[in-house]
């Protein structure tokens, strides 16, 4: 099997089973069923908080339902989510990662979205790549709507390749090709390959999954 250099990571927006999607039959008084005064939306990235808050503000204008956007640190996000799942107190809506989706879907911790998607005039799952939607599909049902995805890229220095007489990387490259080129590019003045060891998603995860 050819081990290519590509790896896609997807994030979906999921809802806990205890929460019925509020846009359907909402009261319009800024509240939802239960004891909370606002819809609790939990994410793990401060950089996206501002944009998501704008989306939630538009949602509030349209439905009258208040939204409380909360940001948790990545290191504690999954611990808090697992504790909530065990204790029956999960957020109403939250980000779900492709690496964790199967565990939550199989254990019936997420709301099936099939009926809501079918009735919606805003959500069309055909707009998303099937490789992404399949990550949040279990037993033929959708459990999340894709929010974004990122594809990890390989950057290379053309001058270093030219000086070494090597062809540039292309879509046919495997990890073996990368290894061979890196060895030839390494000498007393430079290393043929380097990566950010503080972010596994940018580096080791891609190698592990591809292998």
Residue 24: per-residue pLDDT: 32
Residue 51: per-residue pLDDT: 94
Assess if CATH 3.40.190.10 describes domain 8-151: yes
Torsion region of 165: left, alpha or beta (phi above 0 gives left; psi -120 to 50 gives alpha)? left
Q: Residue 140 has what DSSP assignment?
A: T
Q: Which of 91, 95, 38 is nearest to 63 (CA)?
A: 38
Domain ranges of the chain: 8-151, 158-210
CA–CA dist 130, 116 (Å, integer): 19
Q: Distance of CA 11 to CAs 101, 130, 200, Å?
A: 9, 14, 16
Residue 9: per-residue pLDDT: 55
Residue 152: per-residue pLDDT: 75
pLDDT in tens, 76-87: 999 999 999 999
Token couple for 124:
């069309």
Q: What is the pTM of this model?
A: 0.68
CA–CA dist 209, 200 (Å, integer): 12
Token couple for 132:
């992404």
Residue 4: per-residue pLDDT: 44
Segments of the chain with pLDDT less than 70: 1-11, 16-36
């Amino acid at each position: 099997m050819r081990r290519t250099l590509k790896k896609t990571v997807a994030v979906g927006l999921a809802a806990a089973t205890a929460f019925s999607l509020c846009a359907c039959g909402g009261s319009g008084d800024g509240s939802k069923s239960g004891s909370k005064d606002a819809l609790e939306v939990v994410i793990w990235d401060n950089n996206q908080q501002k944009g998501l808050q704008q989306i939630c503000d538009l949602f509030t204008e349209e439905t009258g339902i208040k939204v409380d956007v909360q940001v948790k640190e990545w290191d504690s996000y999954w611990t808090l989510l697992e504790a909530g799942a065990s204790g029956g107190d999960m957020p109403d809506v939250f980000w779900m990662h492709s690496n964790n989706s199967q565990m939550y879907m199989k254990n019936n911790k997420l709301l099936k979205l099939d009926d809501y998607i079918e009735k919606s005039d805003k959500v069309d799952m055909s707009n998303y790549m099937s490789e992404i939607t399949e990550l949040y599909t279990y037993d033929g049902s959708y459990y999340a709507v894709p929010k974004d995805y990122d594809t990890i890229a390989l950057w290379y220095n053309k001058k270093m390749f030219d000086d070494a007489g090597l062809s540039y990387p292309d879509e046919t490259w495997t990890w073996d090709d990368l290894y061979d080129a890196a060895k030839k590019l390494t000498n007393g003045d430079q290393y043929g390959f380097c990566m950010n060891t503080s972010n596994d998603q940018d580096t080791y995860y891609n190698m592990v999954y591809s292998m």
